[in-house]
Chains A and B, each alone.
Chain A
Amino acid sequence: MNAYRLHRRFILLGASAAALSACLKPRPAPTSGRELRMSWWGGSSAHKATLEALRLFEEKHGIRVRGEYTGFAGHLERLTTQIAGGTAPDVMQINWYWQTLFSRDGTGFYDLSKLRDKLDLSQFDARTLSMGTNKGVLNAIAVSNAARLFYLNQTTYQKAGLSLPTTWDELFARGPQFKTRLGQGYYPLDGLFLEFIALARTYVVQGTGKPLINAETKSLNCTRADMYDFAGLYARMTRDHVWPSAQVRASYGNVAQQEMRPWINGQFAGTFQWNSSIDKYSDTLAAKQTLALAPYLLRPGAKDAGMMYRPAMMFAVNAKTPYPDESALLIEFLLNDPDGIRAMGLRRGVPVSKAARSLLNKEGLITPIQQQSEAQLAAAQINVVESPWFEHPRVRDGFQDILEAMGYGRLSEREAGDRLYDDINAILHRVVR
């Protein structure tokens, strides 16, 4: 009786195992017990594309890769905890300014130049490589570049009978025109404080021709008068109905710009946004609303375009990975291999790799708005490279707190300018290391 039960149990177990294995997709046998871990952030389409690319990589190289992916919110916290705890993945997608957090001296990530026999660095220009280099060590390689450009809702502008602005003065004039022709709830440009700070930085840098922050001196790279301009721009744009006031924006609560009803229905008719993520903004627009790339605005006699132009995201390798060659092979596949390029598509913006650009161009996969953005970037005079410390949360919040206080009438324009100059210098002195 016992033998019969045992026998039956084995049959059941065997049948279950067979059924389970039949359900699983056959995977290529790895060439060894190696299993890489790769982490990234993104939306569902980026996750899907990356997982497909990893599957192709496994098929081609016989190395398994475990994907660890999240949305952008919380990703840095997770990665930071992993790096601090010594459990970071072998390959990591990082933000450009995270290099200041993890590898100020160049030792926080693996030196990719030592892996050039596996990773074709000739596909990347000198500027791209320099953006991932810290103290002479190549820590990260850019996947795509991003710049903040003006994207405006063409449908709303047409509804108002107005053309897209070509100069700052035209933009300033659009505010009252929108109010008169469309109503109180319509604005020609919108964004979080984060976007306004980037916009005002562009405005100031066009005047100075220098980065806003000097990391060497741990201070602002401009005069007090420039900070009066910074504050004055916010005061003018909110007063003249060019940009929604602090109270109007706050009335929607803590919500992403592209998820706000006025954005969706075209009342907030523009954004100063990264070209790499503009699809996310156009995707949420209501039917028949069209987003267009507007001319890049320049101050008269501008010394530089003042563009925020930097890698949109980068790939880095864990400094302590036991598999540096395999990690390099994976990055090579994702950035330079035709199969990887096709699988990734434009999910991480227009790639910087020459091989990827050439292939995507040839196959007509770059969308018209992205082609226009690329052309605008190519035509722009971009000599100024902003310090990554501009994106430090403490610096950003410093700008925001002062602008918000001015927006709520707690500071005059002049006081806000003074506070910007004094407080941001104090913050920079404290955080830049």
Chain B
Amino acid sequence: MYSNKWIGSLYVTPFVIGFLLFTAFPFVASFLLSLTDARLQDQLGAANFVGLSNYSEMAADSTFRQSLGVTFAYVFITVPLKLAFALFIAVVLNFKLKGIGLFRTAFYLPSILGGSVAIAVVWRFVFAGDGLLNQALSGIGIGSVNWLGEPTTAMFSIVLLRLWQFGSAMVVFLAGLKAIPEDLYEAADLDGASRLKQFFLITLPLLTPVLFFNFIMQIVQAFQEFNGPYIITAGGPLKSSYLLPLMIYEEAFKYFNLGYSSALSWVLFIIIALFTAVAFWSQKHWVFYAQDRDDKGGH
């Protein structure tokens, strides 16, 4: 007879093996590679240890600096907009209306399609100079816009692709809204609080744990955006949509600089980790957990 302990271990073995092989090993290997001048086409044995020179090289790499700036701009624009939009739609879909289930499904659909290659190709077609959007604009008498051909608007097109996939954040917000007790709103109604006041003084504070969760998820995803810029603009024009993940890919698979590319991916990892850490640190100032309320009530 197996003891419960061994049976448990047996159950988790597939995950542990998968994690070690496909996450832990590449994670450690990429760090070791980042300390070498490994090139993709050479045997790994031919790589030389170069210490931190790949990291110091970034300081002088103007493409890296530009890519980093573009990545930050993308994240700082996308994440707040996406959260605000997802919250707005969630609030609207929280109304008790006939057939609301259908609307909820419809609004979630883009997230099922996601940021896949096929959707990115469609996006390129929509925003192209002779694409659907410009045809529609011309149809109503507004002139065409060079969406993909100008640095500012190209970035906007990529941002919009991410915003379009607001469904998963919206569903989480919706679940959070459902969990807010109705009696709070009834009490506020009795006190004569307007809907806007209720939103800012009841809904938003009680949604902060959900907002925090969505914020972390969106930050992590936005920093890793690849499909959109790769397929729609190839990072252009003038590298205006050349996000860091695209640079990492090109350094490894276009220029074969495996060592430098690994170093870039570690920098991206550190940036994401820093943002996540700051978010966790800051939550005590703005995230309101039910547990805190109960504790404070108890005292």
Identify the A interface with B (CB < 8 A).
77, 80-81, 83-84, 86, 101-102, 246-255, 261-262, 393-394, 401, 404-405, 408, 410
Contact = CB atoms under 8 A, between A and B. Distances in A.
Q: Chain B binding site: helix, strand, loop or mixed by DSSP?
A: loop
B5 to A, nearest CB: 37
Contact of B150 (A84, A247, A253, A393): A247
Interface of B: 40-44, 124, 127-130, 146-151, 154, 230-234, 236-239, 253-256
Interface-central residue, B129, B148, B230, B238, by most chain A CB under 10 Å: B129
A247 B147 CA distance: 10
Contacts of B44: 84
Given A252-B148, A404-B237, 5 more contacts: A250-B149, A250-B236, A251-B148, A254-B124, A408-B237
Given A84-B43, A393-B254, A251 B234 contact: no
Given A247-B149, A251-B146, A101 B253 contact: no
A248 B148 CA distance: 9
A101 B43 CA distance: 12
A252 B121 CA distance: 11
A248 B41 contact: no
A408 B41 contact: no
B149 A251 contact: yes
A252 B40 contact: no
Contact of B129 (A102, A252, A404, A410): A252
Contacts of B234: 254
Interface-central residue, A84, A246, A253, by most chain B CB under 10 Å: A253
Contacts of B128: 251-253, 255
Contacts of A77: 40, 253
A410 B231 contact: no
Given A101-B256, A253-B127, A84 B237 contact: no
Contacts of B146: 247, 250-251
Contacts, number: 73
Contacts of A410: 238
B41 A84 contact: yes
A86 B44 CA distance: 11
A143 B154 CA distance: 41
A405 B149 contact: no
A81 B150 contact: no
Given A101-B256, A102-B41, A253 B238 contact: no
A251 B147 contact: yes
B7 to A, nearest CB: 31
Contacts of B237: 246-247, 250, 404, 408
A262 B131 CA distance: 12
B238 A408 contact: yes
A-B pairs with the 7 shortest C-beta distances?
A251-B129, A251-B149, A254-B234, A250-B149, A253-B124, A250-B237, A77-B253
B267 to A, nearest CB: 21
A345 B238 CA distance: 42
Contacts of A261: 130
A12 to B, nearest CB: 31
Contact of B238 (A81, A255, A405): A405
Interface-central residue, A80, A261, A394, A404, by most chain B CB under 10 Å: A80
Contacts of B148: 250-253
A141 B132 CA distance: 47
B255 A394 contact: yes
A408 B151 CA distance: 10
Nearest to B253: A77
Nearest to B254: A393
Interface-central residue, B40, B124, B147, B233, by most chain A CB under 10 Å: B40
Contacts of A246: 149, 237
Interface-central residue, B41, B130, B233, B253, by most chain A CB under 10 Å: B41
Given A247-B146, A404-B237, A253 B41 contact: no
Given A101-B256, A253-B124, A404 B149 contact: no
A261 B131 CA distance: 10
Nearest to B123: A253
Given A250-B148, A251-B146, A253-B127, A404 B238 contact: yes
24 contacts: A77-B40, A80-B40, A80-B41, A84-B41, A246-B237, A247-B149, A247-B237, A248-B149, A250-B148, A250-B233, A250-B237, A251-B128, A251-B149, A252-B130, A252-B148, A253-B127, A254-B232, A254-B233, A254-B236, A255-B128, A261-B130, A408-B151, A408-B237, A410-B238
Interface-central residue, B127, B146, B237, B239, by most chain A CB under 10 Å: B237
Contacts of B154: 250
Interface-central residue, A261, A262, A410, by most chain B CB under 10 Å: A261
Contacts of B232: 253-254
A212 B231 CA distance: 32
A159 B144 CA distance: 26
A58 to B, nearest CB: 31
Contacts of B233: 250, 253-254
Nearest to A393: B254
Contact of B255 (A81, A84, A250, A393): A393
B273 to A, nearest CB: 28
Nearest to A81: B40
Contacts of B236: 250, 254, 404
A320 B149 CA distance: 48
Contacts of A253: 124, 127-128, 148, 232-233
A251 B125 CA distance: 10
B197 to A, nearest CB: 46
A176 B106 CA distance: 50
A393 B255 CA distance: 7
A84 B40 CA distance: 7
